[in-house]
Amino acid sequence: MTLDKIREIISQMTLEEKASMCSGADFWHTEAIKRLGIPGTMVSDGPHGLRKQAQEGDHLGINDSIKAVCFPAGCGAAASFNRELITLMGETLGNECQAEGVSVILGPAVNIKRSPLCGRNFEYYSEDPLLATEIAGAMIKGVQSKNVGTSIKHFLANNQETRRMSSSSEVDERTLREIYLAAFEGAIAKQKPWTVMCSYNKINGVYAAQNKEYLTKVLRDEWGFDGYVVSDWGAVNARVEDLEAGMDLEMPSSNGVNDKLIVEAVRNGALEESVVDQACERILNIVYRFTENRDSNAVFDRDKDHEIARKIAEETIVLLKNDGILPLKENEDIVFIGKYAKEPRFQGGGSSHINCHKVTSACDAVAGMRNVTYAQGFNDDQDEVDEALMAEAVQAAKKAKVAVIFAGLPDAFESEGFDRSHMRMPNCQNELIRKVAEAQPNTVVVLHNGSPVEMPWINEVKGIVEAYLGGQAVGGACVDLLFGRINPSAKLPETFPLKLEDNPSYLFYPGEKDRVEYREGVFVGYRYYDTKKMDVLFPFGHGLSYTTFTYSNLQVDRESIKDNETVKVTVDVTNTGSRTGKEVVQLYVSDRESTVIRPVKELRDFAKVELQPGETKTVEFSLGKRAFAYWNTQIHDWHVETGEFELLIGKSSRDIVFTKTIQVESTVKLPVHYTLDTTIGDLMEDPNTKPFISELMKGSALFSDEPKEESTAASEAITKDMMMAMMKYMPIRGALSFGGGDMTVEDLKKIVDQLNNRV
Ligand code: BGC
């Protein structure tokens, strides 16, 4: 429907009707206005499956939803590093929504994994904003290609569950731009989600729902968002102010309470009616975009989608360690140990919880293989060693050629609603792994968890497979990977630190009462670990394959660019092993010298390529300004400092294969204003002021760099270097104290004026 037509409809609505349009009719529907033929539409969770509640609604996954298909959660989806695959997931979900009459699926969820403790990390993509936003964009593209909307969430700086409805995330401007906003930015600007969900928390003291700076200035004015903003369920705190800030649709319904506030505010002149009109326009635009593009042929074929979930799961499982034990041989005696071999943990708790139409476990997937036996090993309802189960597992491990333990985090350890309090797996599972590995040197651990865990047994097992929360078809995908029927190709979208205390947010997470300071700034994840050269358990981007890849021929199409130009980077990748495989080529950029404090490297692009044995493909990247820029808080914009940058091609953030240096020249002149406090060193560094200041200081005893002739033993300590440093850090006003009384303040002010005229 055209905007003119929508405006015409709005002009026929009463103020009460318009106010009612700005909040849900119930838990899941937008308001319908029968009198004017305006339909209501349904929205549903999200993000990795359809949680459509036909009856009683809730936002915690308590009441039943329809039978649906659970795809790999965000943690695994990001590990695929595969945009096309996640677009396929989006297309599949979009089709399911069409079949079920759901206008918007509530996802993707892109919040940055600031700490491994965040209870919702399993739903989120990465510690890296580029990876997060690219995967989110791929998902949005897929869903919306089916004329169904997405709701990218939770905007903004919602990186913990502790006090999520009241805590204020205190984040500086540059960190917000480079890390937390950036996770949303690419996906929103490029893929235009139909809706954005604002988070519960405050950002620097202002509730997300009330934050005009982000909901209007950044989201709409800068990024061109043109859909509606919906509140997270219950995130509205001051309805009228929220509406003015750009928070269009309140969910769920406030049962008319907040609608009345809107009407009153318009009646008493506190709120312009045009603000209400505008919110209605945005909401109706999306409502009609859905209702006018219904696909009456769409069918929710659960079995077919289960197979798609399996195909996706295949690329979300990361092979972390392999001391030659994997792939397993099809006919040797193997024991699967652990509750999760029979009942995999494949999804997390809370609003993303899917009522699965079926689940394939690893045991289901080996049902026909008589050489594979099973022992439960542990319980996961409480963290206590069950001696009988443990003894049985150890016995079975001894008898077999290989033991594969399916372990991980129980639901009680990670979920929406609360954060983890440590990074450990249950003791009973760690104990079991140790005992089994003692009895059977050929032990492999398969992990089902949504976030990093400590691995005290890492050196005692030969193989480790990170299956994340791989969706309802995870068992089949795991078994295929273990037996080498598929070749692992996923990479870690986050660093696994050795221990929780190593995490940069450790000291400040989850904050004090209603306030959490993001004091680590831009040093999130590998940006911190790599800059500090710290040992980690597994680095960002790490993941093994059953084949080998070599890189060659790193080329750039130019060695020097201006910041408004692009550079093309190409590299050849060859499969040098004997199996077909996929490799994730990662491109990082490092600023060699910078006046601002920057991470040692940052991911700027990635590509996944499939190669037959012996095959070579050329991977191409194109880097523009953003790849070299940092957020400059003086001009409130992206800025590139002129200088050399290294382009790093890597297999992980710690396995850099090739490096190439290019020169980037800034086309933006930062505004300069010198004062009496400006140092001589800064003036000497500025080519515009250097000649003037050198001239001025000629002959000055203080600034002379010649050592004094009559130097005594004591004054010999006054070296040239020390004098130079003194000069460099001396403010202009220092001439008053050290200039021998020749200068007055007025003289110096004149000099400052002259300097400012030169820049
Ligand atoms: C969650 C959202 C979810 C909503 C609706 C909230 O509690 O934070 O992610 O979409 O509930 O279930």
Tell me how long the chain is.
Answer: 759
Q: In what order do the strands lie in the sheet with 616-623?
A: 549-556, 567-575, 616-623
CB of 244 shorter than 6 A to ligand 1: no
Instruction: Count how many Cα atoms sit within 13 Å of the Cα of residue 526 in the half-sphere of its side chain.
Output: 26
Query: Pairing relation of β-strands 637-639 and 560-562?
Result: unpaired
Hey, CA dihedral for 277, 292, 140, 192, is it positive or negative?
negative
Would you say 132 and 112 are in contact if contact means Cβ atoms under 8 Å apart?
Answer: yes
Under DSSP, the state recorded for 740 is: T
- Specify whether the CB–CB gap between 88 and 147 falls below 8 A: no
Amino acid at 374: Y
Amino acid letter, residue 200: Y
**Atom 8 of ligand 1, nearest CA residue:** 232
Residue 288 tokens read as 């009609």
Residue nearest to atom 12 of ligand 1 (CA): 59
Is residue 232 part of the annotated active site? The answer reads: yes
| C-alpha 340 chain-centroid distance | 27
Cβ-based neighbour number of residue 687 at 10 Å: 9
State the Cα–Cα distance between residues 336 and 431, nearest whole angstrom. 16
Q: Is 48 in the pocket of ligand 1 (CB under 6 A)?
A: no
Distances (CA, A) of 423 to 115, 327, 735: 10, 29, 57
Q: HSE on the CB side for 465, CA within 13 Å?
A: 35
Task: Please answer whether residues 231 and 199 qualify as being in contact, where contact means their C-beta atoms are separated by less than 8 angstroms.
Answer: no
Residue nearest to atom 5 of ligand 1 (CA): 59
The closest alpha carbon to 113, from 149, 73, 143, belongs to: 73
pLDDT digits (tens, 9 = 90+) for 104-142: 999 999 999 999 999 999 999 999 999 999 999 999 999
**Closest by Cα among 626, 634, 728, 721 to 129:** 626
CA distance 445 to 461: 7
Cβ–ligand 1 contact at 123 (below 6 Å): no
Q: Say how far residue 62 (Cα) sits from the centre of its chain.
A: 27
Tell me the average pLDDT of the chain: 95
> Which of 56, 62, 106 should be mutated for ligand 1, with most atoms under 8 A from CB?
106
* DSSP letter (8 states) at residue 290: H
Sheet (strand 372-375) strand order: 318-322, 463-466, 443-448, 402-408, 334-337, 372-375
Question: Using 50, 70 and 90 to split pLDDT, how confident is the model at 694?
Answer: confident
Ligand 1 site, residue 57, Cβ cutoff 6 A: no
**What's the predicted TM-score (pTM) here?**
0.96
CA torsion sign, 234 to 94 to 69 to 72?
negative
100 Cα: distance to centroid of ligand 1 (angstroms):
19
Query: Does ligand 1 come within 6 angstroms of the Cβ of 134?
Result: no
Confidence of residue 62 (pLDDT cuts 50, 70, 90): confident
Q: Which of 559, 610, 555 is nearest to 583 (CA)?
A: 610
Instruction: State pLDDT tens for residues 429-443.
Output: 999 999 999 999 999
How far is 70 from 302, CA to CA, in rounded Å? Answer: 10
Exposure class string for 121-153: b at 16+ Cβ within 10 A, else e: bbbbbbbbbbbbbbbbbbbbbbbbebbbbbbbb
Instruction: Give the pLDDT score at 695.
Output: 87
Query: Average pLDDT in the 177-192 region?
Result: 98
Atom of ligand 1 nearest to the CA of 351: 12
CA of 60 to the centre of ligand 1 (A): 7
Residue nearest to atom 9 of ligand 1 (CA): 351
Q: Tell me the best of 29, 43, 50, 59 to mutate to test the pocket of ligand 1, counting ligand atoms within 8 Å of each CB and taking the most.
A: 59
Distances (CA, A) of 37 to 22, 354, 590: 17, 33, 57
Write down the residue that tokens 């002739």 correspond to: 709
Nearest CA to ligand 1 atom 11: 59
**Residue 696 — pLDDT band, cuts 50, 70, 90?**
confident
DSSP state of 523: -
Instruction: Give the separation between CA 446 and CA 405, rounded to whole angstroms.
Output: 6
Q: If you average pLDDT over each of 345-354, 696-705, 738-747, which comes out highest?
A: 345-354
Ligand 1: distance of its center to the CA of 108 in Å?
11
Confidence at residue 708, expressed as pLDDT on a 0 to 100 scale: 52
Examine the pLDDT at 54 and tell me if it is beyond 90: no
Would the CA dihedral through 78, 82, 84, 88 be positive or negative?
Answer: negative
Residue nearest to atom 3 of ligand 1 (CA): 351
Residue 610 has phi, psi (to 5 degrees) of: -100, 135
What is the pLDDT, as a whole number, of residue 550? 98
Backbone angles phi, psi at 129, to 5 degrees: -65, -30
List the domains of the chain with CATH numbers.
Answer: 3-291 (3.20.20.300), 306-511 (3.40.50.1700), 549-665 (2.60.40.10), 680-758 (no CATH)
Decide: 104 in ligand 1 pocket, CB within 6 A.
no
512 bridge partner residues = 515
Fill in the amino acid letter for 658.
F
Q: What angle do CA 518, 524, 528 make, to 5 degrees?
A: 120
Q: Is any atom of ligand 1 closer than 6 Å to the C-beta of 61?
A: no
For residue 47, report the distance from its CA to the centre of ligand 1, in Å.
10
Residue 301 backbone dihedrals phi, psi, to 5 degrees = -95, 95
Of residues 232, 480, 502, 530, which has the active-site annotation?
A: 232
Residue 456 has pLDDT above 80, yes or no: yes
Burial 375-391 (b: 16+ CB within 10 A, else e): bbbbbbeebebbeebbe
In this predicted model, what pLDDT tens digit does every residue of 697-734 receive, in sequence order?
876 654 555 555 555 555 667 788 888 888 889 999 99
CA distance 461 to 724: 58
Could you give the C-alpha distances from 115 to 89, 165, 677, in angstroms and in order? 27, 18, 40
Quote the ligand 1 centre to 388 CA distance (angstroms). Answer: 41
Asked if residue 233 has its Cβ within 6 Å of ligand 1, the reply is: yes
CA of 351 to the centre of ligand 1 (A): 5
59 in ligand 1 pocket by Cβ < 6 Å? yes
Name the residue of 120, 152, 160, 232 to mutate for ligand 1: max ligand atoms within 8 A of Cβ.
232
Ligand 1 and 351: CB distance under 6 A: yes
Is ligand 1 within 6 A of the CB of residue 153? yes
What are the φ/ψ torsions at residue 254 (nearest 5 degrees)?
-95, 20
- For residue 169 and ligand 1, the question of a CB distance below 6 A is answered with no
Using the structure block, give the residue that is written with the tokens 């060699």: 592
pLDDT at 49 over 60: yes
706 C-beta neighbours (distance < 10 Å), count: 8
CA of 232 to the centre of ligand 1 (A): 6
pLDDT at position 406 is 98
pLDDT, residue 279, reads 98
